[in-house]
């Protein structure tokens, strides 16, 4: 990204950011399971995911958006947190609060994927 942005002015960067911020999020093509959505909602509330990922899980500052992300992306990234392949704000891979097991990750993915 640095190479692409190196010749850009601050105004150029704001224009590009504004363009992407204005885009509609595509809905996931995955068939969501209502029972898993409910379990995911409860888990997200219990884990207080919104305290880091913002109101409506739309991200904030340098914390990414969860709402509307594709199901398989969320599952893969949560697996990466659990295995330690990706860092989760300094959490150890064994930190179940921030690195849910695969079943819980699937439920969370169903919940976040259906949000707008």
Residue with tokens 């659990």: 82
pTM for the whole structure: 0.69
CATH number corresponding to 28-114: 1.10.760.10
Higher pLDDT, 90 or 85: 85
pLDDT, tens digit (0-9, with 9 covering 90-100), for 18-43:
998 898 866 657 788 999 999 999 99
Cα gap 109→72, rounded to integer Å = 8
Residue 71 · residue 115 · CB < 8 Å: no
What pLDDT score does 92 carry?
53
In the chain, domain spans: 28-114
């Amino acid at each position: 990204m640095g190479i692409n942005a190196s010749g850009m002015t601050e105004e150029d960067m704001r224009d590009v950011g504004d363009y992407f911020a204005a885009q509609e999020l595509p809905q996931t093509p995955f068939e969501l399971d209502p029972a898993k959505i409910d379990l995911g909602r409860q888990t997200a509330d219990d884990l207080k995911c919104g305290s880091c990922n913002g109101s409506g899980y739309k991200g904030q500052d340098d914390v990414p958006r969860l709402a509307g992300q594709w199901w398989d992306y969320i599952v893969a990234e949560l697996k990466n947190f659990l295995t330690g392949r990706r860092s989760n704000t300094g959490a150890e891979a064994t930190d179940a609060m921030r690195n849910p097991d695969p079943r819980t990750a699937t439920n969370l993915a169903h919940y976040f994927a259906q949000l707008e």
